[in-house]
Amino acid sequence: MPIRKYIKERSFSPDQIERLSVAYEGALATLQISRTDPLAEMIAKKIIEVSDADRDCTSAILFTRALAELGLPERRYFPSSD
């Protein structure tokens, strides 16, 4: 399920949604998990939480901080799009 599922009732600009989506998809790809894995929901919620703290974060920062706060390895991979 795309990250949009978790932000339905929230207010984000199109640019913010794009950054959230890129961070989320990057995390799933890095950890090699599917959107149906229960961990995917935890990751999505953490990325949104990180974004709430700083709405101007890049996708790479959202990705890195969310994985770090969850104690997950980032494996020094992030798809560059910022």
Q: Is residue 31 part of a domain?
A: yes
Domain, as residue range, for 27: 13-69
User: Tokens for 59?
Assistant: 């996708």
Write down the pLDDT at residue 73.
74
Q: Determine the Cα–Cα distance for residues 50 and 66; give it in Å rounded to an integer.
A: 7
Count of domains in the chain? 1
Percent of the chain at pLDDT exceeding 70: 88
Residue 43: Cβ within 10 Å count: 25
Write down the pLDDT at residue 82.
46
Residue 5 · residue 45 · CB < 8 Å: no
- The answer, yes or no, to whether residue 79 has pLDDT greater than 80, is no
Q: Is residue 26 part of a domain?
A: yes
Q: Determine the Cα–Cα distance for residues 78 and 52; give it in Å rounded to an integer.
A: 21
Q: Is residue 77 part of a domain?
A: no
Query: Tell me: the pLDDT tens digits for 36-70?
Result: 999 999 999 999 999 999 888 999 999 999 999 99
